[in-house]
């Protein structure tokens, strides 16, 4: 295994494949990744040649129609899944809705699953995930679904009284605020040992470190591609379903979670009666956004040339160095580490708490060090080794020290809240 410094040298050539503005240290890839140069060329080709010249013929001649499955199979290689288990489509929220519906459908097919009406999540999960569960509960009021939101480290103890009624546990592998990482294998085993299904949100996992869905026997998963994958704002998300579950759904002819055009077994037969297709395509809904898929596929092709194990080594080297630099240079300035110090317990971000977190981050951004803020007091810094260097880390820590020493965060322009933080 490569050491951290050795791992970082392996990505020296990757940085040149991204558009990084002069004077910017970009530590926000955990929120929106930078622009791959290959994506520019891919979108231009799609616009000028495939759309401009091929017109509607490109659904066939440029294989637009198969973009969701083609990109899904490429994503599968990055998250430890097999071809045919992942489809790229829609948003993470919509895919989470579909995955939750599917989990309930799968449970309804089990002879011993009567009464399993509880959906469990982490109280600190990304709020949208909780909103989707709440919306599903309201939509299926006749099912009398029950939601249990538990503390992150008290999953097993808190659920003693409801494990027998739990249908699905929905967790984000890496906490969006702190960067703390669940042990996917151990958590999945725990959940499944009680007869529940395990649904993972991989928003802060995909292309941040090696993910092993099938090795961990995961049931369902969703994720996005605009963060570490670098596929751009509004890029298609994805959904994973284990082949064993797809086979069960197909055998029982279970309805699609959303009966959309592209989930029909013969969409161009224009049959007024919906008939669900087989396999992972059951999760598709409508016409895929082809320009976004062009950028996504270019980003995926770039990632497939990287060794994710080496990415992880480099990520840990960067995050460890940043923690050390900040704690040394900013000692006594009120910054508190919110991210686990133990490497195995964190993703690829580092978070610090400070009562003036928002204003501090705005002051940093004004200096060209771009991270982001999460309420109530979290400064987040994301590290993507493909384009972040050790020099970036050292410089960012020095800028943070200067912001704190000079009290730049007290300036009025840094205290005015923008709509997006």
pLDDT tens-digit readout, 302-360: 999 999 999 999 999 999 999 999 999 999 999 999 999 999 999 999 999 999 999 99
Classified as helix, coil or strand, 162 is: coil
Strands (E), 179-279: 197-201, 220-223, 238-241
Under DSSP, the state recorded for 404 is H
> Taking residues 372-378, what's their average pLDDT?
97
CATH entry, 4-36+308-414, from 2.40.110.10, 3.30.465.10, 3.40.50.300, 3.90.1150.10:
3.90.1150.10
Every domain of the chain and the residues it spans:
4-36+308-414, 92-223+237-287
Interior CA angle at 345 toward 340 and 347, to 5°? Answer: 90
Whole-angstrom Cα distance, residue 251 to residue 278?
Answer: 9
Q: What's the pLDDT at 12?
A: 81
* CB < 8 Å & 24+ apart, contacts of 332-337: 333/401, 333/404, 333/405, 334/404, 335/379, 335/400, 335/404
Question: Quick one: pLDDT band at residue 2, thresholds 50, 70, 90?
Answer: low
Q: What's the pLDDT at 5?
A: 67
Instruction: Say which CATH architecture domain 92-223+237-287 belongs to.
Output: 3-Layer(aba) Sandwich (3.40)
Strand partners, 26: 370
- Cβ contact 330:401 at 8 Å: yes
Phi, psi of 241 (to 5 degrees): -135, 130
Q: What is the pLDDT of residues 270-284, one digit of tens each?
A: 999 999 999 999 999
Q: What is the pLDDT of residues 385-415, one digit of tens each?
A: 999 999 999 999 999 999 999 999 999 999 9
Q: What's the pLDDT at 4?
A: 65
Q: What's the pLDDT at 220?
A: 99
Q: What is the pLDDT of residues 12-66, one digit of tens each?
A: 889 999 999 999 999 999 999 999 999 999 999 999 999 999 999 999 999 999 9
- Cβ contact 177:351 at 8 Å: yes
* CB < 8 Å & 24+ apart, contacts of 408-412: 408/363, 408/366, 409/356, 409/359, 409/360, 409/362, 409/363, 410/356, 410/359, 411/359, 411/363
User: Sign of the CA dihedral 171, 174, 177, 180?
Assistant: positive
Q: Do domains 4-36+308-414 and 92-223+237-287 have the same CATH topology?
A: no
Q: What's the pLDDT at 114?
A: 81
Q: How far is CA 262 from CA 65, 282, 284, in A?
A: 10, 8, 6
Q: What's the pLDDT at 11?
A: 87
Whole-angstrom Cα distance, residue 342 to residue 171?
Answer: 21
Q: How far is CA 346 from CA 36, 173, 183, 287, 315, in A?
A: 26, 10, 10, 37, 10
Q: What's the pLDDT at 156?
A: 87
Q: How far is CA 206 from the centre of its chain?
A: 6
Helix (H) or strand (E) holding 36: strand 35-36
Q: What's the pLDDT at 362?
A: 98
Catalytic residues: 126, 201, 226-227, 380
Q: What is the pLDDT of residues 56-96, one digit of tens each?
A: 999 999 999 999 999 999 999 999 999 999 999 999 999 99
Interior CA angle at 387 toward 385 and 389, to 5°? Answer: 70
Burial of 39 (0-12, 13-18, 19+ CB in 10 A): buried
């Amino acid at each position: 295994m490569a050491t951290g410094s050795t791992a970082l040298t392996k990505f020296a050539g990757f940085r040149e494949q991204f558009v990084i503005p002069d004077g910017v240290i970009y530590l926000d890839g955990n929120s929106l990744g930078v622009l791959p140069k290959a994506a520019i060329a891919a979108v231009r080709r799609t616009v000028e040649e495939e759309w401009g010249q091929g017109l509607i013929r490109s659904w066939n001649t440029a294989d637009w129609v198969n973009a969701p499955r083609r990109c899904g199979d490429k994503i599968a290689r990055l998250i430890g899944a097999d071809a045919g288990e992942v489809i790229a489509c829609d948003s993470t929220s919509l895919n989470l809705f579909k995955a939750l519906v599917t989990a309930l459908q799968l449970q309804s097919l089990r002879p011993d699953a009567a009464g399993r009406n509880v959906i469990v999540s982490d109280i600190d999960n990304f709020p949208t995930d909780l909103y989707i569960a709440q919306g599903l509960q309201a939509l299926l009021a006749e099912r009398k679904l029950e939601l249990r939101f538990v503390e992150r480290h008290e999953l097993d103890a808190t659920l003693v009284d409801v494990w027998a009624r739990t249908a699905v546990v929905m967790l984000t592998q890496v906490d969006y605020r702190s960067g703390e990482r669940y042990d996917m294998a151990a958590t999945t085993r725990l959940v499944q040992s009680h007869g529940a299904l395990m649904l993972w949100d991989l928003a802060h996992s995909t292309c941040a470190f090696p993910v092993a869905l099938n090795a961990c026997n995961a049931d369902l998963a969703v994720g996005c591609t605009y963060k570490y994958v670098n596929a751009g704002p509004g890029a298609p998300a994805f959904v994973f379903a284990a082949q064993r579950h797809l086979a069960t759904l197909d055998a029982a002819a279970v309805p699609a979670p959303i009966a959309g055009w592209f989930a029909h077994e013969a969409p161009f037969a224009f049959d007024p009666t919906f008939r669900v297709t087989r396999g992972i395509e059951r999760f598709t809904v409508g016409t895929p956004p082809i320009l976004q898929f062009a950028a996504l596929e270019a980003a995926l092709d770039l990632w497939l040339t990287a060794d994710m194990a080496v990415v992880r080594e480099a990520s840990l080297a960067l995050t460890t160095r940043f923690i050390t630099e900040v704690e040394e240079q900013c000692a006594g300035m009120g910054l508190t580490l919110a991210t686990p110090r133990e490497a195995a317990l964190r993703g690829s971000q580092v978070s610090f708490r400070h009562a003036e977190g928002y204003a501090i981050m705005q002051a940093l951004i004004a200096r060209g060090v771009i991270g982001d803020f999460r309420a109530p007091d979290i400064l987040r810094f994301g590290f993507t080794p493909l384009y972040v260097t050790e020099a970036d880390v050292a410089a960012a820590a020095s800028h943070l020290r200067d912001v704190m020493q000079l009290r730049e965060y007290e300036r009025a322009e840094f205290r005015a809240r923008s709509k997006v933080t």
